[in-house]
Amino acid sequence: MIVVIQCKDQVGLVAGITGVLAKEQLNIVSLREHVDKIENRFFIRVHLEVETDSQALESKLKQVLPEDAVIKVNPLPEKKVVVLVTKEYHCLGDILIRHYFKTLGAQVQCVIGNHDTLENICQRFDIPFYLVSHEQKDRDVFESQVSSLIDKYTPDYIVLAKFMRILSPGFVAKYTGRLINIHHSFLPAFVGASPYRQAFERGVKLIGATAHFVTNELDEGPIIAQQIIPVTHSHTAGDMMKAGKEIETAVLAKALHLVFEDRVFVYKNKTVVFE
């Protein structure tokens, strides 16, 4: 059983929290704690050996915590997710395989694509696929169609698995803290379009990928995980893109795993990740 708490920092928080747990005879398997001294912010994740009444425990914890505390006791072990895609298959394929074999740690409720390229693979896994084309319509209309579909499923997270449309501030605000994106670059290098073309022209020796929560700055937002892969002079821009897809897949998988196990806290533009 998992307990995660985020609140402003003050003396005695760990003592208060673990005092409650000890009183309930709840043995701690592992405990990770971090204080952001600059923001004066406290983060804790406790893994307990046994299960107990979540609601009762939460109200007891509330009594030892500041009012602003965000407490989750035994958060849903299987998150619900909607996946947004365009044409590239590598991230979605990985998600579908893990989902099919029940190791994703989440339930894929549906996939929404602005192209139909990935419809067939979804059908093969019995996952509903919705085509919402962005063509010949305003972004507002496109986004409200996507949004209606999402809202039908009330997902915990929306995963942008190589979804190649830039989302409006309104859309992002509506799903704040729930939108996870994979960016095809080692941010903050090569922000924006064609990062592999940029990387090739710059002659870099490493390329990277970044999984992050989406905010309204282009390719900004709290970073969850990053990874790199070496490249050489013999890589064309196309080769870099191919190599990049391998780490895009890996880094998104890792980020989702961390988020779905409630190991990621967000505060302002940063994350605290208890791996």
From the CB of 223, what's the least distance to a copy of itself, in Å?
5
> Does 149 engage in binding with a copy of itself (CB under 8 A)?
no
From the CB of 177, what's the least distance to a copy of itself, in Å?
15
Window 162-201: residues binding a copy of itself (CB under 8 A): 186-190
Stretch that binds a copy of itself, among 33-41, 75-83, 153-161, 171-179 (CB under 8 A): 33-41
Question: 41, 9 in Cβ contact below 8 A?
Answer: yes
From the CB of 148, what's the least distance to a copy of itself, in Å?
29
Tell me whether residue 45 or residue 79 sits nearer to a copy of itself (CB atom). 45
Give the dihedral sign, CA 230/204/198/160.
positive
The phi and psi torsions of 71 (rounded to 5 degrees) equal -115, 130
> Does 215 engage in binding with a copy of itself (CB under 8 A)?
no
Whether 219 sits among the annotated catalytic residues: the reply is yes
Tell me whether residue 9 or residue 156 sits nearer to a copy of itself (CB atom). 9
The DSSP code for 44 is: E
**How many other CB atoms are found less than 10 A from the CB of residue 30?**
10
Question: 255, 181 in Cβ contact below 8 A?
Answer: no
Which one from 94, 151, 219, 262 is the annotated catalytic residue? 219
**How many other CB atoms are found less than 10 A from the CB of residue 114?**
19
From the CB of 212, what's the least distance to a copy of itself, in Å?
9
> Does 225 engage in binding with a copy of itself (CB under 8 A)?
yes
Question: 86, 152 in Cβ contact below 8 A?
Answer: no
Tell me whether residue 140 or residue 246 sits nearer to a copy of itself (CB atom). 246
Cα–Cα nearest to 122, from 132, 112, 114: 112
Identified binder of a copy of itself from the candidate list 97, 131, 166, 193, rule CB under 8 A:
97
Question: 227, 209 in Cβ contact below 8 A?
Answer: yes
Identified binder of a copy of itself from the candidate list 21, 83, 112, 214, rule CB under 8 A:
21
Question: 92, 83 in Cβ contact below 8 A?
Answer: yes
The residues annotated with a catalytic role in the active site are 219
